[in-house]
Chain A
Amino acid sequence: MDAHWSEAAHRHFKDAGVVQVGYVPDAGLSKLIDRCREDNEIDTVMCATEEESIGLAAGAWLGGQKAVVLMQSSGVGNTINAIASLISSAKFPMLAIVTMRGEWGEGNPWQVPMGQAVEPTLNAVGVKTYRAETDEDADKMIEAGLRMAYSSDQPIAVLIAQRLIGSKVWKSGKGDGE
């Protein structure tokens, strides 16, 4: 068993031949992002907004490369038209790993509405969602999600539950609220 789900995620990326990883940073993704950035065979692309990463992944696939996109739950809101219009219309494969906020012990009320809307909005534009509550879930779901995405041309999102990431405690003077 891996110490952290990101180790399994990175291993599955390698096994599946993922080359491009587009991301917008999130604290819950930092271990996975670091692991990908340190891997010379993975081409990481830091995006300014999550919508960009959807286009990046589609472009990679047009060129014969597999990509994965990483984002926080609030970023899902930025991707919806790109997913609906591009990924679903043209039947592009897609695997998104979404670290959740706004659902388990959230201390920032501004995170709650989008966090709660992630699954219904993704489902509404044709994305199948898997919810990972444990490291083992994340391991299996990322492996299965990659196969489903790239062997069956499906858009898949693996949602990493906030309970697994650990909710942040937000207190005056402590900072680090986002």
Chain B
Amino acid sequence: MSGLHRRDVLKTAFAERGDALAISGLGSATWDLASLGDRDDNFYLWGAMGNAAMIGLGLARARPDKRVVVVSGDGEILMGLTAFTTIGAKRPENLAICVLDNERYTETGRQPTATGMGTDLAGVAAACGFPVTRTLTTEQDVAGLGALLFSQTGPVMAVVKVVDESLPMAVPPRDGGYLKTRFRSHLLGAQAATMP
């Protein structure tokens, strides 16, 4: 178990965000992304557990001109592990996935997940063809997280081992239609409302 704190790690890395698009997996990762300040180019999931990485893939393929970063937790990612094979096969260069791995299903009572019992998510990603995979456990490792998420040619899998801690909820907007339209309007301008 490392001594890294998820929101500190994310805040440091996201200082390098620029105009990158962000998707967050339900639960803690959504609160973590919101804790950095709400933005129109954040799409927070409040459900659809297991699908954050695939939403990232669809977005990354639609917008190869933009960096797409998916932030999620270990439980959410474990539920959609098959997506690693699909992403590994397509190899989108502009997609990075950041797993804040506390080895717990935090929202449901901190039950342990398989990442604390042997599953190595970075190892799985490497085995599926991700060219860049890292497990980060120290402050020194984390100094390179911004570059991994926002600059390095992907697909990138960055697994950050973080402490299991109770944090206040930072609640972003929860209306899915609003979040979708806000995101699309930011990205596509007036066309978002008039296409097709």
Contact = CB atoms under 8 A, between A and B. Distances in A.
Interface residues of A, number: 38
A49 B82 contact: yes
Nearest to B47: A85
Contact of A47 (B48, B86, B176, B195): B86
- Interface centre among A22, A48, A60, A90, by most B CB within 10 Å? A90
A64 B191 contact: yes
B47 A56 contact: no
Interface stretch (B9-17, B58-66, B147-155): B58-66
Contacts of B96: none
Interface in A128-178: 150-151
Given A20-B58, A58-B55, A48 B85 contact: yes
A47 B196 CA distance: 26
B48 A60 contact: no
23 contacts: A16-B196, A20-B62, A45-B90, A47-B82, A51-B50, A55-B58, A56-B54, A56-B58, A58-B55, A59-B56, A62-B180, A63-B58, A63-B187, A64-B188, A65-B58, A66-B196, A67-B58, A82-B50, A85-B49, A86-B45, A90-B176, A91-B180, A92-B180
Main SS at interface, chain A:
helix
Contacts of B63: 63-64
Main SS at interface, chain B:
helix
Contacts of B168: none
B28 to A, nearest CB: 17
Interface string A99-117: 0000000000000000000
A62 B86 contact: no
B50 to A, nearest CB: 7
Contacts of B43: 62
Contacts of B52: 55
Contacts of B59: 59-60, 62-63
Contacts of B160: none
B54 A59 contact: yes
A91 B184 CA distance: 13
B48 A62 contact: no
Interface string B181-192: 001100110011
Interface string A1-37: 0000000000000001101101000000000000000
A121 interface: no
Contact of A59 (B58, B66, B176): B58
A62 B58 contact: yes
A124 to B, nearest CB: 16
B58 A58 contact: yes
- In the A-B complex, the 6 residue pairs with the smallest Cβ-Cβ separation, listed nearest first, are A59-B58, A63-B62, A90-B176, A55-B54, A85-B47, A55-B51
Contact of A91 (B47, B80, B86, B177): B177
B89 interface: yes
